[in-house]
Each structure stands twice: as structure tokens, then as C-alpha cells.
Structure 1
Amino acid sequence: MDDYIERIRSGSLKLYALEKELDAREAVRVRRAFIEEETGANLDTIGSFSMDIDQAVRKNIENMIGAVQVPVGVAGPLAVKGEYARPSCYLPLATTEGALVASVNRGCALITRAGGADVRVLRDGMTRAPVFAARDIVHAREIVTWVEEHMTEIREAAESTTSHGKLFEIVPYVAGTNVFLRMEFDTKDAMGMNMVTIAGAKVGDLIERETGARLVALSGNMCTDKKPAAINLIRGRGRTVVAGVKLSDDLIADLLKTDAETLALVNYRKNMVGSALAGSLGFNAHAANVIAAIFIACGQDAAHVVEGSTCMTTVEKVDGGAYVAVTLPSLPVGTVGGGTGLATQRECLDLLGVHGGGTPPGTNARALAEIVAAGVLAGELSLLGALAAQHLARAHQQLGRG
């Protein structure tokens, strides 16, 4: 090991090149030892893990030195009345935030006692939006016209790069000499970012060649990927999914210790008025909490919590109780690819019955979207109830999370 560390220190061997000379496990060990010597930090715990190192360094990470462990809890059972997910499941939640699992668990109990959450996937499409430079605004219009008139050709080019992805829409946006083409794909059970990026590059080459436009960037930020954006809230990105449940007055009083009118009032003044006043793109209590915990547990791209947090929670007082719903317009999830192949993440997906490709393709990813939406609904119900009953601070104090 000392020889390798000395070579790294001298610059004759790069940290990222260790796997070219050593097997993956030894490369990780040498790299970690070098970092310990350089920083004075003790990284023994980071170096203790169970995942398949060969797979991780091949598909998921560079310059690996170990793994960070995040506690995983379960909430449930949660009754889900969707079109793809199992009728009942336990939610794996990876988090270091005390009280979160307990809160979601209470929401799951409420939903299950109410007969389950109705869940539907409304739309399914991952986006990539390259930006092209036109010579002038006349040329910009010509580019858009060419795209509109050659969709069959464009679709063939895009789909030649993938056996699963299907291009079903291109929406053009022009700003001066900038032409943005927001392409939307059905990516089946994959979250699909790699798929649409590769397909987008093929389309970009075709449009450059045929129109004289200059492809400036394969992603022009109209996608919009991993950034707060109104376009995702309005048009959707990934899976657009809704979940709702009818709660009786008795259930609200028994489990939430409040009433339908107060629940609706808290949601209106907090989630609607408060979010609007803050200029928020999400109108919810803490949807990102649940999404992040499921994403980390299930090998999803954690940065896509940004899109997922553009959730709207609605509470309507109805005869005999309240109807509570969450709408998640932009939920990028997948059950194949990315981090879903790592052993611990695969086990969490197996727990939900959604790991791998579905039959027919796309059904497992949609099932996962349904489960996430139902979990978000559970989290919203519990937190809104705690706020309505003035129990939030007390709950955190009782669980020692002050």
C-alpha cells in the first residue's frame, strides 16, 4: 500500500486511476488510507460496508473511499388503491431526521383505517430540452417549423438510440435567437435521464444538419432538471401522480385530535397562503421529507427531490369529514438503472415489490410513483394534524429531537 500512496503523493499515480492497477476493493482501501494520511481523519466507519464494490465503482461513483450509512425505518402498513402498486405495503424510509418515520407511520395508519389512498398516474414523460442558436428570429421560426413538419424523422432518430424509450412530444420555445426544444419521452421503468440525453444528442445532430441551427447545449435548462421551475409544476416531468383519501370526522378526531374545519384552515393558511406569500413553487407541508427518505432508500437520484417537492396539498371539507389530496406533477422515479442495482437499495425496492422491469414495461416505475404519492399523503396528513392540534413541538420533545 505504501508504494501506491507514495506514487499518489508524488503525482505519478492519480487517485482515479487506482482501479487500473488494483482490484476495486483494494483500490478503495488505498484511496481511503491516502485521504486519512492527508487529512488526519479516521475513516474506519466509512470503510465498513456491505455493498458490491465492483458494481459501485463501475456504475455509480468515482474515487470511492467507502460508504455513508443512513438509518432505514419502515412506516405502515399503508393501503394503496392504485392501478399498479400492491394494495398494501411498508414504506422504507432512509433518514437521519428523528420523528419523521413516526409521523409518516401515523399518516399510514390513518389512511389504512380510512380504507386506503386512491392513487392515479396522470402522465408519464421524462424531458430533455436542448438549446439551439439561430442566425436571427426569422431563422428561429424556420427551425421550429422544420421540427413541426418532420416529427416522424425526428422520432426515428431519437428512438434509434434506445430499445425502450419513445419520443411522444416536442414543445418549442423561442426567446430571441434562442430555440429550446423540450422533448418528452416515455422511458418505461427507467427514470430515464441517460436515455433521453443520448436520444437528445441524436436529435440535436439531425436538427443542426437539416436547419443550420447551432446546438449550443444539450440541456438548455427548460427540461428542467434538478432545479425549481414552474414549467415542471405546470407541464410535469417524470411521473405526474395524485393521491387522495376521504377521512371521516371520527377518524380525524381519533387519530389527529382535531376536526375537518381546522385541518382545512391550517392547510389553506399554511400551504396555500403562506407558500404563495413566500413565492414557493410547492404548496405543501413537507412533501420533500418523505420523497427524500424513499429516494435514498430505493436508489433514486436524490437531487430529483427538487422536482418532487413541487407538490400541492389540498384539503376540502366535505359531508362527514374531509377529503385530502396531494398532486405531484414532477416525480422522476425508476426501478431499473442508476442506484437501483445496489444491494441495499434493491432490497428496499423488493420490499415494495417493484424492483427491476415490470410486465408490461413501465408498470413497476408507475407502481413506485403511486407508493411515493401515497407516502407523501401520509406525511402531509400527519404534519397537518399535528399543527392543527398544536402538537408539533410536543411530539419532537417526546421523541428527544428538540
Structure 2
Amino acid sequence: MNSIRIPRERDNDYGRAAIKARQEFIRDQTDSPAEHVTHYSLDPCTLPGNVENFFGVAQVPIGLAGPVLVNGEHAQGEFFVPLATTEGTLVASYSRGMKLCREAGGITTTVLDDKMQRAPVFSFNNAREAKAFSEWLDANFEPIAAAAQTTTSSGKLIGIQKFPVSKLLYTRFNYTTGDAAGQNMTGKATFAACAWIKQNYPGELHFLLEGQFATDKKTSVVNMLHTRGKRVVAEITLPATLVEEQMHVSTDKLYAARMRGQLGSIMSVTNNNGNHSANGLTAMFIATGQDVANIAESSALYGFSELLPNGDFYASITIPALIIATYGGGTGLATQRECLDILGCYGAGKVYKLAEIMAATVLAGELSLGSAVVAEEWVQAHDDLGRNRP
């Protein structure tokens, strides 16, 4: 039985004829009129490397939140934040949190670490052979790094972590990747490094390029502890009077709710003791052309807060695995680049700035939702803003 094939053109699959053939194919094979998805302003010639079998676009509404005031090492000043979402109340909630933080003097942000991994696993006949290879890796790091470097001008191998078990050695090859997210970059570089290892190691070994220990696009404790992407902190001290005035809740009640939520997070064994970091990050990822599947790792969050002796409220979030780019991938596509331009974050040298703005946005959203829950305004806000009206 011959299956029906999606139309393709070998020579020019992003040309008008190929795209029109797929649009007509959809109309013929399905019940969809394919009216809205087939209208777009971008140039299909820019899409090779981003999508195959292109026929149209998904139009996601983008709202503007802010401004958020950031006191960062790389992001300094006020920023209006584009959020691509279909969830009512989201933009309004983040704007409310940004207003609170702005009136408190802004959010301080700090990028603590920057790593991207590929994680080969090496196999041996027994544990002693694995131990000997581990020691050999340490002694030969420089030529291994040089081999990896032959494949990239912006990535750099900065270390190899080793995790022995049985007769296997799991490793994490840690790289800096410049303004790119770097998963493909690190894969290519690590393959070159492993080829050099295979050729030069005096004993017998076998390897898989990825032993599932980089946990690519999967949340994991190892990435939360050791960093994957950018590790960034956002923090603020909120005056008690301002919190009560703006959020209609006292700081002692806010802190008490925080502690109860902390226990709930422990009981449910989550990767996140905050409220909804995935909301703001996903909306920014879609708007700015990030690989949205990386939200699986990037939404991990450590929240920490203190009720200060004078009643003021210290709040912070640490995002330990924020995987983003300001160059390459989907960031250069038409609407995505425009959203990065709104933030002043497109191109080389801007990825730490974007990381700090994202972290500040997450903290503002955490404070807004947390306050709404305590003040019993959460359900009403969704009733007012989160339902489609006729």
C-alpha cells in the first residue's frame, strides 16, 4: 500500500510553488480551509535550517508587559517585555509585578555561571579500566579541548566532569557557547573530541556521544546543581508598606504562604518551588525565537525569601538552567528578531542581558501571582481577564 506523501520540491522546497502545493494538499486531505495559517509576512527563503515542509505560520498573540526596571550587570534600565501567549491575565499579572518592583527601586540581576554540555558515556571491560581512563582524561585535557575547538569559533571546552558507575564512565563535557544556545555546537565539538580520544587512548574503549546525562530538554537535578545554559539570579527587597498598598496583602502573610508552598513543593518533588516560572519564560521564548522545548530545563527554579526584622520582604529567584540565545536558531526570523530588538537583545554580546531581563520578568511574575493568591484575587482576575467573551 502506497502512503500519501506531503508535496516537496528537491530543488526549491521553500519556493512559492512548493508552499502552495502543500497548502492545497492540506485542503484536499483535511477538513481545514487553511486560511489564516497560510497568510504571513516573513520571507520563506529565510527558513531553511528552521523548519521543513513549510506551509504557513501559527499566529500567537503578543502582549507588551512592563516596563520592568532591571539593575543588572548586563541589563540596566527599563525594558518593555513582549510576551507571546493565549492565556488571559498573564500579561496583566506580569505588568502588575513589574510595577511593584519598579516602585521598589528595581530588580537586581546577576549571571553566576554559563555552561552547555554534551555527555558521552565510555564503556570498558571492568571498573579498573574505567578508572584508568578517567585519570587519562585529566592528563590529556588540553589536546582533547584543542580537538573540540577545531569545530567551532565561539564554543570552548572548559572542563570534563566524570561520574563513574560499574564499568562505565559517564562524563559531562562543559562548554561556553557565546551568544548561541549551543546544543548542536557542543554535539559537533564533542564528537571531534571523542574521535581524538578514540584514536589516542592506548587501551580499548567504546563510547556513545550522548549517554542521556546532559538531560537535553528534560528537567534534572544534575542540571539544577551544575548549570546548563545560564545560571541567573534576580532579587529585590520590597518595603512592607508598598506591598500592602500595591498588592493588598501584608508581608507576614506573604511569607507565611511562601513557607506553606515550600512544603507543598517538597512533598510533590518538583523542580521548582516557585509559582509559575514557565509562564513568563515560555511567553518570552516564543516571542524571541528560542527553542521552546528547552522550557523543560529552563523553568527549573530555586525561590528564596525572607521576612526582614522591619517587616520588609526580600525575594529572589535563581534559574539554574536557562537555555537561550540572541543569535542563531530562530532568533533571526522576522517577528522573533523584532521582539529581541524591542528588548535591545539581538545579536552578539547580548545573551547575558537577555538572561537578566528574563530572570527579572520571572521574579515580577512570581510576586504578582503569589500576592494574588494570598489576597484572594487570583480567581477573580481570571474571571475578569481570562475568559473569551461573546
Scaled to the shorter chain, the TM-score interval is over 0.9
Question: How far is the alpha carbon of 1:36 from its aligned partner?
Answer: 2.0
What residue ranges of structure 1 are gaps of 5+ in the alignment?
1-8, 359-363
Deviations 1:149-204 (A, max 9, x none): 10101110111111111111110112222222101111111111111111011111
Question: How far is the alpha carbon of 1:139 from its aligned partner?
Answer: 1.6
Match in the other structure for 1:355: 346
1:59 and 1:15 map into 2 onto residues whose CA distance is 19
SS of match in other structure, 1:15: coil
Tell me whether 108-117 or 43-52 shows the greater mean CA deviation. 43-52
Decide whether the 8 Å contact of 2:122 with 2:207 is kept in 1.
yes
2:10 and 2:58 map into 1 onto residues whose CA distance is 21
Match in the other structure for 1:382: 368
- 1:311-350 alignment runs, 5 A limit: 311-318=301-308, 319-350=310-341
Which letter maps to 2:363? L
SS of match in other structure, 1:65: coil
SS of match in other structure, 1:340: coil
Match in the other structure for 1:172: 162
Question: What is the aligned-residue RMSD (CA, Å)?
Answer: 1.7
Match in the other structure for 1:61: 51
Match in the other structure for 2:207: 215
Match of 1:87 among 68, 77, 97: 77
Match in the other structure for 1:266: 257
1:160 and 1:242 map into 2 onto residues whose CA distance is 33
Deviations 1:264-304 (A, max 9, x none): 1111111x111110011111100010110000000011011
Which letter maps to 1:352? L
Match in the other structure for 1:368: 354
Aligned length: 385
CA spacing shift, 1:22–1:208, aligned 2, 3 Å: closer
Structure 1 position 120 matched with structure 2 position 96? no
Which letter maps to 1:374? A
Match in the other structure for 1:97: 87
Question: How far is the alpha carbon of 1:206 from its aligned partner?
Answer: 1.6
SS of match in other structure, 1:244: strand
Decide whether the 8 Å contact of 1:170 with 1:181 is kept in 2.
yes
CA spacing shift, 1:180–1:25, aligned 2, 3 Å: farther
2:274 and 2:9 map into 1 onto residues whose CA distance is 46
SS of match in other structure, 1:183: strand
2:61 and 2:330 map into 1 onto residues whose CA distance is 17
CA spacing shift, 1:20–1:174, aligned 2, 3 Å: same
Which letter maps to 1:378? A
Decide whether the 8 Å contact of 1:263 with 1:315 is kept in 2.
no
SS of match in other structure, 2:70: strand
1:43 and 1:18 map into 2 onto residues whose CA distance is 21
Match in the other structure for 1:25: 16
Decide whether the 8 Å contact of 2:252 with 2:311 is kept in 1.
no
Question: How far is the alpha carbon of 1:23 from its aligned partner?
Answer: 5.1
Match in the other structure for 1:6: none
SS of match in other structure, 1:108: helix
Structure 1 position 232 matched with structure 2 position 232? no
CA spacing shift, 1:33–1:340, aligned 2, 3 Å: same
Decide whether the 8 Å contact of 1:313 with 1:380 is kept in 2.
no
| TM-score of the two chains, using structure 1 as the length reference | 0.92
Match of 1:302 among 286, 292, 300: 292
Which letter maps to 2:369? L
Which letter maps to 1:52? D
The sequence identity of aligned pairs, in percent, is 38
Structure 1 position 396 matched with structure 2 position 374? no
Decide whether the 8 Å contact of 2:87 with 2:386 is kept in 1.
no
Structure 1 position 51 matched with structure 2 position 42? yes
Deviations 1:55-90 (A, max 9, x none): 11x120011121101000011011000011141100
Question: How far is the alpha carbon of 1:209 from its aligned partner?
Answer: 2.2
CA spacing shift, 1:221–1:347, aligned 2, 3 Å: same
Match in the other structure for 2:31: 40
Match in the other structure for 1:140: 130
Deviations 1:77-107 (A, max 9, x none): 1100001114110011000111100000001
Decide whether the 8 Å contact of 1:164 with 1:187 is kept in 2.
yes
| TM-score of the two chains, using structure 2 as the length reference | 0.95
Question: How far is the alpha carbon of 1:27 from its aligned partner?
Answer: 1.2
Which letter maps to 2:39? S
Decide whether the 8 Å contact of 1:99 with 1:401 is kept in 2.
no
Which letter maps to 1:43? A
SS of match in other structure, 1:371: helix
Which is helix-richer, 1 or 2?
1
Question: How far is the alpha carbon of 1:14 from its aligned partner?
Answer: 5.5
1:295 and 1:65 map into 2 onto residues whose CA distance is 22
Decide whether the 8 Å contact of 2:7 with 2:25 is kept in 1.
no
What residue ranges of structure 2 are gaps of 5+ in the alignment?
none
